Amino acid sequence: MAVTATLPETMVPRPYLVDRVTADVSDTFTLVLKPQYGTEQFAFRPGQFNMLYLYGVGEVPISISGDPNDPQRLVHTVRALGTVTAAMQKLKRGSVVGVRGPFGSSWPIDQAEGADIVIIAGGVGLAPLRPAIYAILARRERYGRFVILYGARSPKDILFSRQLERWRSRLDTFVDVTVDRATGAWHGNVGVVTGLIGHGGFDADHTVAMICGPELMIRYGVLTLIDRGVRTNNIYVSMERNMKCAVGFCGHCQWGGNFVCRDGPVFSFDQIADIFQVREL
């Protein structure tokens, strides 16, 4: 009898229907997806990502930006930058997207219990951190201080601005936002987000920091936190590399000895301290 081989679920996209599209800021939009067939829930850990496939166009890694306690809705926030993501911007309710995942490591939500939490995000980097924010707020009493620092290019590029306002209005959460370029009626901070580190206060010895954004911002963020006494094993970053398979076969996502698709995308700084400063690695 002839032997055939069946590809595992991790290698074949499953069709999902676009349930809702929201334009967040000019080039960024959020897709709410649900399975085209069946009622399967999408369980994931904050910080994980999916490979999103557009029929015949291509496939890209996109973090999950929804609430881990609401697995009925699979939520992704995408910035339109190139071929695949620009085509995704044209999706409408009822369109179909292929989904493989979830993949990768996650933010240390459980390990961080008892500690102060500092979240530092730049641009669309807030999206992969939003599930962590939801998870922490869902059991807020288990953490110390909770600080969210966010940087955007300009006031009109502030992602999830209404949510940021809502979180800011909570007495148990400190939110501060900065922009690179002030426009119009902006009276807030101007400058890089790493300049906000320290706002809201934290007990450096008992702080877990989570950073996502442009790589340069991550670098400054880590150095500033170390400077302020945060332990290197308590600093977590989420990294981006080219990804073709997401399951450790294609080699594209390598960063030193790591496969970012399975050892990352979330790394504790300790894991990567020896390669972090090496350029073009």
Ligand X SMILES: Cc1cc2nc3c(=O)[nH]c(=O)nc-3n(C[C@H](O)[C@H](O)[C@H](O)COP(=O)(O)OP(=O)(O)OC[C@H]3O[C@@H](n4cnc5c(N)ncnc54)[C@H](O)[C@@H]3O)c2cc1C
Q: Determine the Cα–Cα distance for residues 189 and 28; give it in Å rounded to an integer.
A: 22
190 is in the binding site of which of ligand FES, another protein, ligand X, none (Cβ under 5 to 8 A by kind)? none
83 is in the binding site of which of another protein, ligand FES, ligand X, none (Cβ under 5 to 8 A by kind)? ligand X
Considering only 137, 190, 250, 273, the residue that binds ligand FES (CB under 6 A) is: 250
Residue 68 preceded by cis peptide, ω within 30? no
Which class for 163: exposed (0-12), middle (13-18), buried (19 or more C-beta within 10 A)? Answer: middle
Q: Which residues, 81 to 110, sit near another protein by CB under 8 A?
A: 81-82, 94-96, 98
127 is in the binding site of which of ligand FES, ligand X, another protein, none (Cβ under 5 to 8 A by kind)? ligand X
Using CB under 6 A as the binding rule, whether residue 22 contacts ligand X is answered as: no
Using CB under 6 A as the binding rule, whether residue 191 contacts ligand FES is answered as: no
Q: Which residues, 35 to 54, sit near ligand X by CB under 6 A?
A: 49
Using CB under 6 A as the binding rule, whether residue 241 contacts ligand X is answered as: yes
Using CB under 8 A as the binding rule, whether residue 6 contacts another protein is answered as: yes
Q: Determine the Cα–Cα distance for residues 98 and 13; give it in Å rounded to an integer.
A: 5
Q: Determine the Cα–Cα distance for residues 127 and 129; give it in Å rounded to an integer.
A: 5
Rounded to the nearest whole angstrom, what is the least distance from the CB of residue 249 to another protein in the complex? 6
DSSP class of 8 = P
The residue behind tokens 């890209």 is 60
Which residues are registered as beta bridge partners of 23? 29
